[in-house]
Amino acid sequence: MVKQGKYDVVIVGAGMGGLCSAALLTHYGYKALVVEKLPFVGGRASSVKYKGFTLPTGALYVETHGVVDKLFQEVGANFPVRDFPIQLCFRMGGKDYPMPIKGGLKTVISNFATEAETARVMGAIRRAFTWQEPSGAISIRDWFRQYTQNDKVLAVFRGMSNYQCVNFSDMPAAEFIRQLKFAGTAGADPRGFLALMEELVKVIKAKGGDVWTGCRVKRINVVDEVARGIVVDNPGAGEMEIPAKVVISDVGPHGTVELAGSQSFEKGYLKEVKERVRPLSYVCLEIASEKPLVDFNGVMVVPEGRRQMTMMSTSLVYPEYAPPGKHLLQAWAAPESSFLPLDTKKEIDLILQDVREAIPGFDREAEILHVSYWQKDWPMYRALPGALSQKTSVENLYNVGDGVAPLVPLGLPACAESARIVVDDIKQRVKPAA
Amino acid sequence: MLAVNEDRCVGCGLCVSFCPREALKAWGLCRVDLDKCNDCLVCLDYCPVDALTMLEEARK
């Protein structure tokens, strides 16, 4: 077998966590290699071209002025992300209720609730913000039900939960409140997420690192409970062993166990992975039209349907995502359960009924371009934040990405922060080869 | 002949975007239009969950 021995760290998977890890490591003088199975980088934080449209492979937006752009700045990568207006509007009972930037929640709720009921709900949120986070042992739906039985008010929060891409009855109360606290600015790269991820590849390569796409990792080598490198199946070159002092996996904790072999891990760790790392499902419809189907420059929340749904006329903010003369609407919805296997046919039927009801003239003006599901091995999130630590029970084998998300904003910031935690630990423990 | 492993397919639709002959549809799980598919195998590289395989058996 060919042996390639010039790397301090090898990284399995070129998703957001893997690329952020490599960008930080190369920036701090480590020789790093990223190996990616797919022919493109970014994983579920990438984009594809389809019929002239730019469609996401996963991430729909990235938080700005937070951990992600700080990391890009630190490693010297461009971050040409254009913010979209964080303006929410609730479409309920055929009427639109815009949410003002200041005092927004209270204003929206008071459309449907008495003054006393509004005060009770807002008081509970204030206590959760300033006194103590609610327990994670109950869902945010059950938490709100302690303060109101008003279906319209509950629907508003069901919609907010969809904005976090988790089903209202599956979202732990603590996590919902934490994410609500984090709420800030967000945007996307007008060129698509693939171009943003390639900005990281540029800095990795400029600092002596390598990124191999279309190359499959066959296993992670573990000897005496210590990670020693990986074996890849390099197209054209056959199997190749790549020794390294450290291995970082960005394929999710379940995938890491599969690659290294369950016999390599402690029993307690395997139990934690099995019980805590539960992938979340989600659905997105990409819809094309001649005119914008939702004439609102922000996020339209449709919370009362068969499914909780959020829509955005993406091409109003990013005309680059649609070919000339066309518009792109994205409708995102959480399925019946975020954690149970999807009945894909049932979900799409119900979501389509909701979309038809929410958009007058839908059948006349709209063309469904693409349907994307995320579930199982290609989920919306590999786990909720705080499920598992980044270190595995195998020495010098770490996980990064949304399966080991720390308690920061969901999605890309969580992936970036997991990479920072891992690289900070490596910097303490392992010196780069001279 | 291209086949979809329905236990593995998640319905992400990535294969649909990359099929040069519009032979794949994902409205739910991935479906192959065997009249359009010419076995170019591009989709195999782009499937993130290894749900697509080439079966040896001849086309009917």
Question: Under an 8 A CB cutoff, do A38 and B8 touch?
Answer: no
Report, as an integer, the average pLDDT of A369-386: 96
Provide the token pair at A264: 């390599």
Find out whether A336 and A291 touch, Cβ atoms under 8 Å.
no
Instruction: Check pLDDT > 70 for residue A84.
Output: yes
What whole-number distance in Å separates Cα of residue A380 and Cα of residue A411? 8
Boundaries of domain holding B34: 2-50
Structural domain contains residue B27: yes
**pTM of structure:** 0.96
Contact A300, A89 (CB under 8 A): yes
Sheet of A95-99: strand order equals A95-99, A88-92, A299-302, A309-312, A327-333, A282-289, A367-374
Which two structure tokens, joined as six digits, stand for A395?
Answer: 């020495």
Question: Out of A45-49, A85-89, A298-302, B22-26, which region has the weakest mean confidence (pLDDT)?
Answer: A85-89
pLDDT of residue A398: 99
Judged by a CB distance cut-off of 8 A, whether residue A193 touches chain B is no
- CATH code assigned at B45: 3.30.70.20
pLDDT surpasses 90 at B50:
yes
Please name the member of B26, B46, B49 whose beta carbon is closest to the beta carbon of A377. B49
Instruction: Decide if B55 is inside a domain.
Output: no
Q: Do A373 and B13 touch (CB under 8 A)?
A: yes
**A280-374: what fold?**
Polyamine Oxidase; Chain A, domain 2 (3.90.660)
- For residue A284, list chain B residues with Cβ-Cβ distance below 8 A: none
pLDDT above 60 (res A310): yes
Please, what's the b/e burial string for A12-50 (b: 16 or more CB within 10 A of its CB; e: otherwise)? bbbbbbbbbbbbbbbbbebbbbbbbbbebbbbbbbbbeb
How remote is the C-alpha of A350 from its chain's centroid? 24
At the top level of CATH, the class of A2-82+191-277+382-429 is alpha beta
CB contacts < 8 A (A, B):
59
pLDDT for A404 beyond 60: yes
pLDDT at A330: 96
> Model confidence at A1, in pLDDT bands (50, 70, 90)?
low
Domain count, chain B: 1
Nearest alpha-carbon partner for A22 in A11, A12, A13 = A11
pLDDT of residue A183: 85
Q: Where in chain A is the domain with CATH 3.90.660.50?
A: 280-374
ipTM of predicted complex = 0.93
The answer to whether residues A334 and A167 touch, using CB atoms and an 8 Å cutoff, is yes
Within a domain: B37: yes
